Every structure is written in C-alpha cells, then in structure tokens.
Structure 1
Amino acid sequence: MQINNKGDNQMPTITLKEIEQRVNSESQKKDAIIRNFEDKLKLKNRIQGRVRPKHPTEARILSSFKRK
C-alpha cells in the first residue's frame, strides 16, 4: 500500500493487484468452510428448491416480476 500526500492529509491507496490478492487469499481461507456447508446441505437433501407451497396471492405477486 502506498501513501500519497494530498494537501496536509496522507491518503492510503490500494492497487487493483492488491485487492485481487486479498480476495484470492480470503476465498482460499473460506473455501473449506463453504465446502463443509455444501456437504451438510447435500446430506440433508436441502438442494431441492422451494419447500413451502406458494400462497395464491403470493404466487400472483411473484409472477408480476420479471427476471432479467
């Protein structure tokens, strides 16, 4: 991280490469947690979509929205 002077204040600036490195390192740290969560979901058969049936009014409201 570089420190640039602007007036009397010092402002830290972060390069795009530093942001990418931070994102990659954080995603690698959290990868095991995400995989563990996905495995638990698969064991419980939770990846099946909507479980609760739609109420007719709710269905009508949701159908009025269009996905882009």
Structure 2
Amino acid sequence: MKTNNKGDKKMPTITLKEIERRVNSDGEKKDAIIRNFENKLGTRNRIQGRVRPKHPTEARILSSFKRK
C-alpha cells in the first residue's frame, strides 16, 4: 500500500490488484467455515428462503414491489 500526500494528510492508496488479492485470500480462509455452515444447514433439511411467516402489513408492502 502506497501513501500519497494530499495537503497535510497522508492518504493510503490501494491498487485493484491488491484488493483482488485480499478478497481471494480472505475467501480461502473462510471457505471451511462456509462449507461447515452449508453442511449444518443441509442436515436440518431447511430450504433456503423465508423462515417466519409474513405479517399481513409486511406482505402488502412487499407485494407492491415488482421483481424484474
């Protein structure tokens, strides 16, 4: 990470390559946690989606939005 001076303050500059490298390394670190969670979810026979029922007012508000 480089620092550039702007006025009296030092501002860190991050390159796109550095961001991509950080995202990939964080993804690899968290991969085991994600797999463990997916396995637990699968053993409970839960389907992805809404768990609790919709409140009637909430259902009316949500139905006003249109999905594309």
Q: TM-score, normalised by structure 2?
A: 0.76
Which amino acid is 1:22 matched to?
R
Which amino acid is 2:27 matched to?
S
Partner of 1:30: 30
Q: How far, CA to CA, are the matches of 2:65 and 2:52 in structure 1?
A: 20
Q: Percentage identity across aligned positions?
A: 82
Q: 1:53 to 1:14 in 2, by over 3 A?
A: closer
Q: TM-score, normalised by structure 1?
A: 0.76
Q: How far, CA to CA, are the matches of 2:57 and 2:9 in structure 1?
A: 57
Q: Secondary structure of 1:41's partner?
A: helix
The alignment covers a number of residue pairs equal to 68
Structure 2: unaligned runs, 5 residues or longer:
none
The alignment's C-alpha RMSD in Å is 2.1
